[in-house]
Amino acid sequence: MKKILMVDDDVDLIEQFKPVFEQAGYEFAAAYNSREGLETFKKFEPDAMIVDLSMEHFDSGFVLCHRIKATERGQAIPVIIMTSAGQDTGYRFGTDTAEEKNWIKADDYLEKPISPRDLVQYLGEKIFKA
């Protein structure tokens, strides 16, 4: 069973995603800020992470991704930033090039809103290639 860690300060969003992931056969854990996300990453040892960009600070997700990717385990798992910052600011992030991936320390970037079912499908098809 694949383990997913979602880090987002939106409790309602996590509560919406959790049952869909569990129903799809994933073990699901959640954290609600970057500090808790790093602690849960170390204890839970996920197979993939989904991280919000703006939590307690506007760049909390970037900072968390940098900390995760600085670990051996973090380098071995996909870390996806999922945020509405592009809609809010007009600035679009990307992970199309090695330079972009190196800068944001994430393996992919998804725009919110995204439905739980679409996210589960994305993980299965693009990340775990089920």
Domains of the chain: 3-49+60-91+105-117 (3.40.50.2300)
Q: Which residue has the higher pLDDT, 81 or 102?
A: 81
Residue 17 has pLDDT above 90, yes or no: yes
CB burial readout 95-128, b (16+ within 10 A) else e: beeeeebeebbbbbbbebeeebeebbebbeeebe
β strands within the chain, DSSP E: 3-7, 27-31, 48-51, 79-83, 108-111
Q: What pTM, to 2 d.p., does this model score?
A: 0.88
Summarize the confidence of residues 33-53 as an average pLDDT.
97
